[in-house]
Amino acid sequence: MKALIGYFCSAAALLLACAAPQQGGKVESSKPAPASGMVLTSTVFKEGELIPAKYSGYGENASPDLA
């Protein structure tokens, strides 16, 4: 069941990426970026780091601490 859900999520992400207007390899948006966006933090990994395998389908598939 997890593999089927993963397949559909991957397919949806691919369709959305292909449907996004692009120029020069960069995705363009018709809406201006908000002045302030959402900030997502974790005590499990730092910005720019890979998410530890424990929190993936290859590990324990545990949910990381997010705020």
pLDDT at 26: 59
Q: What is the pLDDT of residues 35-49, one digit of tens each?
A: 678 888 999 998 889
pLDDT at 47: 87
Let me know if residue 65 belongs to a domain.
no
Let me know if residue 42 belongs to a domain.
yes
Q: Are 27 and 20 in contact (CB under 8 A)?
A: yes
Q: Which domain holds residue 19?
A: 2-55
Let me know if residue 30 belongs to a domain.
yes
Let me know if residue 39 belongs to a domain.
yes
pLDDT at 15: 57
18 is written with which tokens?
Answer: 């292909």
- Rounded distance between C-alpha atoms, residue 4 and residue 8, angstroms: 6
Let me know if residue 60 belongs to a domain.
no
Q: What is the pLDDT of residues 4-63, one digit of tens each?
A: 676 666 766 655 665 555 555 555 556 666 667 888 899 999 888 998 999 988 999 999
The long-range contacts involving 60-63, CB below 8 angstroms and separated by at least 24 positions, are 61/2
Number of structural domains the chain divides into: 1
State pTM to two decimals.
Answer: 0.40
Let me know if residue 63 belongs to a domain.
no
